[in-house]
Amino acid sequence: MRTPGFQPHDRFHGRRPPYRSSGGGGAVRIVGAIIAGVFGLILLILGVVFTLVGGLDYTDHTGRADAVVVDRVETTSRDSDGDLDTDVDVYVSYEAEGRTHEHVALNGLNPSDHHEGEELTVAYHPDDPGDPVTAASTESGAFDLFGYIGVPMIVAAVLLFITSALILLLGRRR
């Protein structure tokens, strides 16, 4: 009995040959590897920034002063996607270590939560009373959450780089 289309020299005996890629997947593989690499780079940058912020320690800012928010500058711009991006700088005036400090930028945790005319307690390093931070910034572990987020981001970035390399290397072997 002959199968239609069967030739005696047909090594697949009338069945379809196994699927073979025409090689067009190479471009898709490269694009996939590039996308994984770009996401890896973005995660790496964010992870490093978060980890560095997580390492901030203002516990040595033991000086305290009563301050008044004298200025709040909001700068609004459009980012590359056309979305509005608002940057807020808060300035305070206070007396510390026998000197009056006027219109000094407030740093630390959430300085943008404070508004003009608001009274608050600021912290400063006794050797540098002109560099105030929010009092909440001086609590032990105040910035730890950033580190807890940053380290996994770095690990994920490394895994994406490895995945990208494997996609490229294993694709070349075929």
* Exposed/middle/buried for residue 114 (C-beta within 10 Å: 0-12, 13-18, 19+): buried
Give yes or no for residue 2 having a pLDDT over 60: no
Give yes or no for residue 69 having a pLDDT over 70: yes
pLDDT of residue 137: 87
Identify the residue with better confidence: 69 or 30: 69
pLDDT of residue 13: 61
How is residue 107 annotated by DSSP? Answer: B
pLDDT of residue 156: 94
- Residue 9 CB coordination number (10 Å): 5
Give yes or no for residue 22 having a pLDDT over 60: no
Average pLDDT over residues 11-31: 64
Most confident range (mean pLDDT) of 7-16, 42-51, 80-89 is 42-51
Contact indicator for 97, 129 with CB cutoff of 8 Å: yes
